[in-house]
């Protein structure tokens, strides 16, 4: 029998954040009014409008790219690596100092639980700036040369707004490039607070430019003729459009796209740990994770036991107010994303899979989806093939390691995988056969700036993080 505990609410105060009624674009070190229109950003947990944000048009993007080019030519590329490092260290320290403010703002604008933004997103953001600050004066030892590319145009998604910004901006700046970055249209606020941090750190004007907007603004960045490098994280569909847009130009490109990771549980695995790993794999950040363990492959002999324990654990997940420190699963980021999750889940049921959702009371306002698991899933089902990008797990079974490998690799994606066995004993025989950029052994969703991250197949190309992450922003050893 499951005991459901009652918890007193423990909300984090939002008094620490100062959300302005409207925001301009951050170009050449200043906030300026755009030439275009504006859009609203909404708190997905309440549907409250948080702010009106400028929508950059082609002329605004052109201004931002010009500012980045001037800063590149006159200041940033001429500065020694050691000097650039000082700015990056300063930014990293300010991120730590303003960590609570950043975490609260991220949870309000994105819907993720405060315990995740506070304990995962923001510390890893700061760690990224510290890590790449350390490389800035050691690039000649990177193996990729030390010559920057120029102006980088960077477009990011909404699932880890500030973390994706850090993955893009920290290595670019460390290598001597300047940037024009566009955050996602549903989560612009922490990028705009980061712009304030750049001012606070006295970063030379134009080294970082933040232009807000939706797909058209992203397109304008990607197709701007004076952008030397395009770095994109987002859906495979848009990634393909970007690859087409830059084909035939000499722009360097990295694409970090979608995933449909297998989390593989063998019958000798420590099941208590594995259950936590399955839960973390798919319900962390509401499942809005490119490398989420959205396909559970469980060995047939333990499938019943794993499912029973998993449902028992899922029933204890607390879904609700992202600012409550008890919350495990927050709000879905937008009405559009919620509609996509609902649609694919309904298709799963129509295709014959069996659906089970954790019994939880969902708030009436905002966008919510209960943690859900599908059993009786076959390889042909759309819920086994397509990225749902929400708190929905599809369960398949296998008998032998070869069958597990075959099923795990039977996907157009190749971003990550998890393998659960006794003391990690099977990891060496499995890892090389899994077509995935990251393979975790007896853990899942662990991120570290020293470790490269990226995909195979339709999950994209190029690596972010670690020494490998420098390659995307340098001309190469022979340059
Ligand atoms: P999306 O592709 O819809 O949007 C991503 C960004 O691209 C947004 O800023 C958007 O405004 C912009 N954009 C949209 N159309 C564009 C165009 N034609 N040209 C240029 N920019 C354009 O993706 P999303 O829904 O925001 O994010 C979810 C997706 O991101 C998922 O598929 C997820 O797997 C993926 N993702 C991948 C990684 C990774 O590292 N591989 C990390 C996080 C998210």
36 pLDDT band, cuts 50/70/90, is confident
Contacts of 414 (CB under 8 A, 6+ apart): 259, 435, 436, 437, 455, 456, 457, 458, 459
d(CA 87, CA 118) in angstroms, rounded, equals 24
The residues annotated with a catalytic role in the active site are 256, 290
Structure tokens at 441: 């052994």
The mean pLDDT of 22-50, rounded to a whole number, is 97
* Residue having the nearest C-alpha atom to atom 12 of ligand 1: 215
Three-state DSSP at 2 gives coil
The mean pLDDT of 176-184, rounded to a whole number, is 98
pLDDT tens digits for range 82-123 = 999 999 999 999 999 999 999 999 999 999 999 999 999 999
Q: How far is the CA of 384 from the centre of ligand 1 (A)?
A: 21
Model pTM score: 0.97
pLDDT of 6 reads 72
pLDDT of 3 reads 55
In this structure, are residues 239 and 257 in contact, taking their beta carbons and an 8 Å threshold? Answer: yes
The mean pLDDT of 448-456, rounded to a whole number, is 94
Q: How far is the CA of 313 from the centre of ligand 1 (A)?
A: 31
The mean pLDDT of 164-176, rounded to a whole number, is 98
Q: How far is the CA of 327 from the centre of ligand 1 (A)?
A: 26
Kindly list the distances between the CA atom of residue 385 and the CA atoms of 126, 190, 259, 399, 411, in Å, as whole numbers in the listed order.
35, 33, 10, 20, 6
- Pocket (CB within 6 angstroms of ligand 1): 155-159, 182, 184-185, 214-215, 218-219, 222, 233-235, 238, 241-242, 256-259, 290, 387, 389, 415, 455, 459-460
The mean pLDDT of 142-164, rounded to a whole number, is 98
Q: Residue 252 forms beta bridges with which residues?
A: 229
pLDDT of 409 reads 96
Strands 30-32 and 25-27: antiparallel
- Please choose from 109, 234, 333, 388 the residue to mutate so as to test ligand 1's pocket, defined by most ligand atoms within 8 A of CB: 234
- Among 271, 268, 270, 267, residue whose Cα is nearest residue 301: 267
Determine the atom of ligand 1 nearest the C-alpha atom of 182.
Answer: 9
Which residue shows structure tokens 């997905």? 44
- In total, the chain counts a number of residues equal to 479
- Looking at every residue in the chain, the average pLDDT score rounds to 96
pLDDT tens digits for range 195-206 = 999 999 999 999
4 pLDDT band, cuts 50/70/90, is low
pLDDT of 293 reads 97
DSSP, residue by residue, 256-303: E-----EEEE-TTS-HHHHHHHHHHHHHGGGG--TT---EEEEEGGGH
In order of their start, the domains of the chain are 22-257+459-473 (3.40.605.10), 262-448 (3.40.309.10)
pLDDT of 7 reads 77
């Amino acid at each position: 029998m499951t005991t459901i505990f009652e918890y007193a609410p423990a909300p984090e105060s939002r008094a620490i954040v100062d959300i302005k009624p409207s925001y301009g674009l951050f170009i050449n070190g200043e906030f300026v009014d755009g030439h275009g229109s504006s859009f609203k950003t909404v708190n997905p947990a309440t549907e409250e409008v948080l702010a009106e944000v400028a929508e950059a048009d082609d002329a605004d993007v052109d201004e931002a790219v010009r500012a980045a080019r001037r800063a590149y030519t006159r200041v940033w590329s001429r500065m020694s690596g050691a000097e650039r490092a000082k700015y990056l260290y300063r930014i990293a320290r300010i991120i730590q100092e303003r960590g609570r403010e950043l975490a609260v703002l991220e949870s309000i604008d994105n819907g993720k639980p405060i315990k995740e933004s506070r304990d995962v997103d923001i510390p890893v953001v700061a760690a990224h700036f510290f890590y790449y600050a350390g490389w800035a004066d050691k690039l000649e030892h990177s193996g990729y040369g030390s010559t920057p590319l120029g102006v980088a145009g960077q477009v990011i998604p909404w699932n880890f707004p500030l973390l994706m910004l850090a993955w893009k901006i920290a290595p670019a700046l460390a290598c001597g490039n300047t940037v024009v970055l566009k955050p996602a249209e549903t989560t612009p606020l922490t990028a705009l607070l980061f712009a304030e941090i750049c001012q606070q750190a006295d970063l030379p004007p134009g080294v970082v430019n933040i232009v807000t907007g939706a797909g058209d603004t992203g397109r304008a960045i990607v197709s701007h003729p004076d952008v030397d490098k395009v770095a994109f994280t987002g859906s495979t569909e848009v990634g393909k459009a970007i690859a087409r847009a830059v084909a035939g130009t000499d722009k360097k490109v990295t694409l970090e796209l979608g995933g449909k990771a297998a989390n593989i549980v063998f019958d000798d695995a420590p099941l208590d740990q594995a259950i936590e790993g399955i839960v973390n794999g798919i319900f962390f950040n509401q499942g809005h994770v490119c490398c989420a363990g959205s396909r559970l492959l469980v060995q047939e002999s333990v499938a019943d036991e794993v499912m029973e324990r998993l449902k028992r654990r899922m029933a204890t997940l607390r879904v609700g107010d992202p600012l409550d420190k008890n919350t495990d699963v927050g709000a879905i980021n937008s009405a559009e994303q919620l509609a996509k999750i609902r649609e694919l889940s309904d298709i799963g049921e129509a295709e014959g899979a069996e659906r089970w959702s954790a019994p939880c009371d969902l708030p009436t306002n905002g966008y919510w989806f209960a943690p859900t698991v599908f059993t009786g899933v076959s390889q042909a089902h759309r819920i086994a093939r397509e990225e749902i990008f929400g708190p929905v797990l599809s369960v398949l079974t296998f008998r032998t390691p070869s069958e597990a490998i075959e099923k795990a690799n039977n996907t157009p994606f190749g971003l990550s995988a998890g393998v659960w066995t006794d003391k990690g004993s099977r990891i060496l025989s499995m890892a090389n056969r899994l077509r995935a950029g990251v393979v975790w052994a007896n853990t899942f969703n662990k991120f570290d700036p020293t470790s490269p991250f990226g995909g195979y197949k339709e999950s994209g190309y190029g690596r972010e993080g670690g020494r490998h992450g420098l390659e995307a922003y340098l001309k190469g050893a022979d340059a």
